[in-house]
Amino acid sequence: MLAEALGESTESYGYINQVRARAGLGAISSSTAGTFAEKLLQERKVELAFEGHRWPDLKRFGVAASVMSSDPRAIDIRGRLNLAIPQREMDINPDFVQNPGY
């Protein structure tokens, strides 16, 4: 988060590389392929996997629709998450209608 707040700088890459070193990964820098935002999103995706940060990150960076477009069932044209309603919930409430594509 501090690296993002600092913006692209030597100091921000230093913070990112501290996390990468702890994970046994090589360092990245401004010469690494991609924009700073792309690299930052990738680092957050890997570091915070399964912690519920991915969707807010994609929305905050304004790339949710383009990233999620590989699965057309996952996002509607308004950029809202459109996932399957769990079967348990469908069984409890007969008024629920399953989301399209599931």
Q: Is the pLDDT of residue 71 over 80?
A: no
Q: Contact, 74 vs 101, CB < 8 A? A: no
Using the Cα atoms of residue 89, residue 91, residue 93 and residue 98 in order, give the sign of their dihedral.
Answer: positive
Q: Two tokens at 24?
A: 């046994």
Cα dihedral value 34, 15, 6, 57, nearest 10: 60
Number of residues that this document lists for the chain: 102
pLDDT in tens, 55-65: 889 888 988 87
Each domain of the chain, given as residue ranges in start order, spans 2-51
pLDDT in tens, 16-44: 999 999 999 999 999 999 999 999 999 99
